[in-house]
Amino acid sequence: MRYLITGGAGFLGSHLVERLLLDGHNVICLDNFYTGTKDNLRNFIQNDQLEVIRGDVTEPFSFEVDAIMNLACPASPVHYQRFPVETTRTSVLGALNSLDLARKLDIPVFQASTSEVYGDPTVSPQNETYWGNVNPIGIRSCYDEGKRAAETLYMDYNRQYGTKIRIARIFNTYGPRMSVNDGRVVSNFIVQALQNQPITIYGDGSQTRSFCYVTDLIDAFVRMMKLEGSLVGPINLGNPSEFTILQLAEKIIELTGSRSPIEFELLPSDDPKQRKPDISLASSALGWKPSVELNEGLTKTIEYFKEKISKAN
């Protein structure tokens, strides 16, 4: 097949591109390189089955492809809070342009949504029937509401036009190719620990997250694109094993052998207190569950950042 991956030079996008190439597919990577980098593609950029194009999903685009997977959007608070208007535009216009091309070609289109559509949840674990608890005017709303609007568009295109959609709600994911300065908790803690800097925890560290290793997530993406029938999502994708932020910091200090102290700062506005996916639907519909345990995934991620920091110095 010939796939179009928007945001294909990003953290998740590059892993998806790599997996599809390994599976023998042709891939067009469309990216404006705001948060993605060509360095993420360097191991396979010479592959004849890959075409890399600089472009922005907020502008209409057209390619002859068999499937579209829309991953274009800043996903870390540092990036989307710096340019909130552009983030909402990317979510909404990127969804519209992806859907219009999929409708025109009569092909399946995948939307990378997020657990942030649940906001600061009042139930745990979160399943797909939960409507969420989102602040529509807060500092995170550009991302949260942008992704919620994208889901609305996908469902309405499916109902009104019969467009073949797939919606994945992605919970915290980590692994190689995360950016050093993207502000996500795993990369922050690892970079601080490797440099023996204080590890910064916002709040008291009791808030929880569930961490999924990137190859597990990409496997779920591939399985979703093979879905037949009326199931279009949304489907929660993540690791249901729940850890406090303090437990994560202590684990990373242990795995790196760091001398970093832990420092506590004020919790940012609207920061969710809990994240734990109910993956019953993913398990039954996709035959999927994560296989990489946190210690194994963190060890691989730490090795990646060791090399990256070493090269930078």
For residues 18 and 27, give the distance between their C-alpha atoms in angstroms, rounded to a whole number: 9
Instruction: Give the three-state DSSP class for 259.
Output: coil
CB distance 24 to 184 below 8 Å? no
How many CA atoms does the CB half-sphere of 305 hold within 13 Å? Answer: 26
- 260, 196 in Cβ contact below 8 A? yes
- Sequence-ordered list of residues with C-beta below 8 angstroms from that of 2, at least 6 positions apart, any chain: 25, 26, 27, 28, 64, 65, 66, 67
Q: Are the C-beta atoms of residues 8 and 19 closer than 8 Å to each other?
A: no
Q: Is 143 a catalytic residue?
A: yes
295 contacts 255 by C-beta, under 8 angstroms: yes
Alpha-carbon span 131 to 279, nearest angstrom: 16
**Catalytic residue chosen out of the listed positions 143, 157, 174, 213:** 143
Helix (H, G, I), strand (E, B), or coil: what is residue 305?
helix
Rounded Cα distance between 199 and 253, Å, is 9
Residues 6+ apart with CB under 8 A from 23: 222
Which residue carries 């832990």 as its tokens?
Answer: 262
Measured between alpha carbons, how far is 23 from 279 in angstroms, rounded to an integer?
A: 25
Structure tokens at 149: 């609007």
Whole-number CA gyration radius for the chain: 19
**Six-digit token pair at 297?**
């995934």
Q: What positions carry a catalytic annotation? A: 143
